[in-house]
Amino acid sequence: MTTLRAVLWDLDGTLVDSAEYHWLSWCEALTAAGHSFDRDFLVATFGQRNDRILRAMLGPDATDAEIQRIADDKEARYRTLVRKRGIELLPGAELWLKRLRASGWRQALATSAPRANVATMVEVLDLAEYFGVIVAAEDVQRGKPDPQVFLLAAERLGAATYRCIVVEDAAAGVEGARSAGMRSIGVGAKHAELGATVAVSSLGELPEDVFEDLLGRIDF
């Protein structure tokens, strides 16, 4: 464990951008259930678990059964869109997945997405060879910013937490990484606001030695 190096990847917004698919599937599922939906709310809650999003949106009167029904419908519609329209890795993602694998880093997906969604994207993008571990929404009881998803991924990889680097596009994920005792790389349009150890707008902008450099830091 003291020598193993690991990268724990968030999926949506970090390796791929399927925000539009999420928006469309939320609109369709909520309309079918007789509810409206605010796009700003989607942006603010992106990356959180569906039950948390729906509970905040529908309020305390919504039953667990209703929340589960809407969430399941939304995700089924999302998977249909991914398969029908396709999806691509974000710039720099494939390069880093290959480079890290070639350098002996272990890699895991640590995501708030349902396992069926993750499996669909991994299949469509042909990513299975890169990830020794996949931790999805069903594997944890608490979503980001709780560190559980990262701690479980590290445990399943057999990596010490201080030898893990998290790559995230959301503040909740960066906070979770920090709580887990892990350094982080923040990516995306809002990278400067994430509070990550290193932050860039795109994976393609990362220096070649960034992962090794992060392991050598004593600050978080």
Catalytic annotation on 10?
Answer: yes
Q: What confidence score (pLDDT) does residue 47 get?
A: 67
Catalytic residue among 10, 73, 213, 219: 10
Q: Do domains 6-16+88-215 and 19-85 have the same CATH topology?
A: no
| Every domain of the chain and the residues it spans | 6-16+88-215, 19-85
Q: Which residue has the tokens 């605010």?
A: 38
Q: What confidence score (pLDDT) does residue 30 get?
A: 93
Q: What confidence score (pLDDT) does residue 50 get?
A: 87
Q: What percent of the chain has pLDDT over 70?
A: 97
**Confidence tier at 2 by pLDDT (50, 70, 90):** low
pTM of the model: 0.88
Find the distance separating the first CA and the last CA of the chain, reported in whole Å. Answer: 20
Token pair listed for 143:
């979503």
Q: pLDDT at residue 204 above 80?
A: yes
Contact of 174 with 157, CB cutoff 8 Å: no
CATH 3.30.70 fits domain 19-85: no
Q: What count of other Cβ atoms lies within 10 Å of the Cβ of residue 205?
A: 13
Q: Mapping DSSP to helix (H, G, I), strand (E, B) and coil, where does residue 59 land?
A: coil
Contact of 211 with 193, CB cutoff 8 Å: no
Token pair listed for 84:
């029908």
The better pLDDT of the pair 41, 110 is held by 110
CA angle 140, 110, 78 (to 5 degrees): 90
Superfamily of domain 6-16+88-215: HAD superfamily/HAD-like (3.40.50.1000)
Q: pLDDT at residue 219 above 80?
A: no
> For residue range 118-175, what is the model confidence (pLDDT) as tens digits?
999 999 999 999 999 999 999 999 989 999 999 999 999 999 999 999 999 999 999 9
Token pair listed for 68:
């589960």
Catalytic annotation on 12?
Answer: yes
Catalytic residue among 12, 73, 146, 213: 12
Q: What confidence score (pLDDT) does residue 184 get?
A: 97
For range 191-218, the mean pLDDT: 92
The closest alpha carbon to 180, from 141, 149, 216, 158, belongs to 149
Q: pLDDT at residue 1 above 70?
A: no
